[in-house]
Chain A
Amino acid sequence: MGLIQRMVEAEGIPTISMGNAPDRMNHIKPPRALLVKFARGCMFGEPGNINRHRRIILDALDALKTMSEPGAVQELPYRWKKPDPEES
């Protein structure tokens, strides 16, 4: 996926991706990425947690506007089956 993202970005289309492994992301160097502490196979959190899925997409839309450095990675604060920090 890293190669796909990098090739698309190089073709003039802004991209953003999800990731959960900082080591691997360092290696792949995606142009823009959000880092979550969720396991493989559930980057947007728990099944049925509509608010969380939505929240992460909204975070990505914000990140598109604010990230200004190639290779920017933003860590998100969400934890599996725990409420979002602001709600706790």
Chain B
Amino acid sequence: MTIDLKKFKPDYEKWVEESLPDYRAGNMKEIVKKYPFIVSKDVPWTPYRGKPSEQTFALVTSGGFYLKDSQPAFDTESIHGDTSYREIPKTVRQEDLGIAHAHYDHSLAEQDINTIFPIHRFIELEKEEVIGRQADTQYSFSYVNDAVTLVTKTVPEVIRRIKAQGVDVLFLVPV
């Protein structure tokens, strides 16, 4: 898959410069309107084969979850967002998680993480053998605008990790 970063990069730098006042003022609609989204005509496709009951699943959330006791929170100040990710173990409990994401209402996820990150439902389905296995590690992102770092550094690293874990299907839940 080709991602045209040569075009994106100068457009993004210009967007950062022009959008900073709106970002600082919290005018999110304005900055989203102007953001130079990477638009591709092609849609990558890997045919799904096999049975869920024999496969390993993993979750990716952009809900800004992190482990309160052992991981740093995401940067919620920068206009670039935060391109890093946190590894969330499948054994995670509601009370283990903090949420660092300034651009959505956390109140429902604070009551029940499964409303955006249904890890407990996946574990139930694993016990019932509806799916073969839930991977030991899930991945949490937060708000990100800096697609250059995301595409060149972070995502390739996550792909290496999910491949090493033998993940057959990735389920992504944006907020």
Decide if A and B are genuine partners: yes
- How far is B38's CA from A30's CA once the two chains are assembled, in angstroms? 13
B102 / chain A contacts, CB cutoff of 8 Å:
none
Residue in B62, B112, B162 whose beta carbon sits within 8 Å of that of A13 in the complex: B162
Range, interface on chain A: 35 or more
B109 in the interface (beta carbon within 8 A): yes
Task: Contacts A6-B43, A6-B44, A7-B155 given; indicate if A16 touches B169 (C-beta within 8 A).
Answer: yes
B121 in the interface (beta carbon within 8 A): yes
Range, interface on chain B: 35 or more
Give the distance to chain B from A62, nearest Cβ to Cβ, in Å: 9
A29 pairs with B43, CB closer than 8 A: yes
- How far is B107's CA from A47's CA once the two chains are assembled, in angstroms? 10
A16 / chain B contacts, CB cutoff of 8 Å:
169-172
- How far is B38's CA from A44's CA once the two chains are assembled, in angstroms? 27
A8 pairs with B174, CB closer than 8 A: no
Residue in B125, B159, B171 whose beta carbon sits within 8 Å of that of A17 in the complex: B171
Task: Contacts A3-B3, A64-B169 given; indicate if A14 touches B46 (C-beta within 8 A).
Answer: yes
A residues in contact (CB < 8 Å) with B? 1-19, 27-31, 39-48, 50, 53-54, 56-58, 60-61, 64-65, 67, 70-71
B residues in contact (CB < 8 Å) with A? 1, 3, 37-40, 43-48, 52, 60, 62-63, 104-109, 111-112, 114-116, 118, 121-122, 124-125, 130-131, 141, 147, 150-151, 155-156, 158-159, 162-163, 167-175
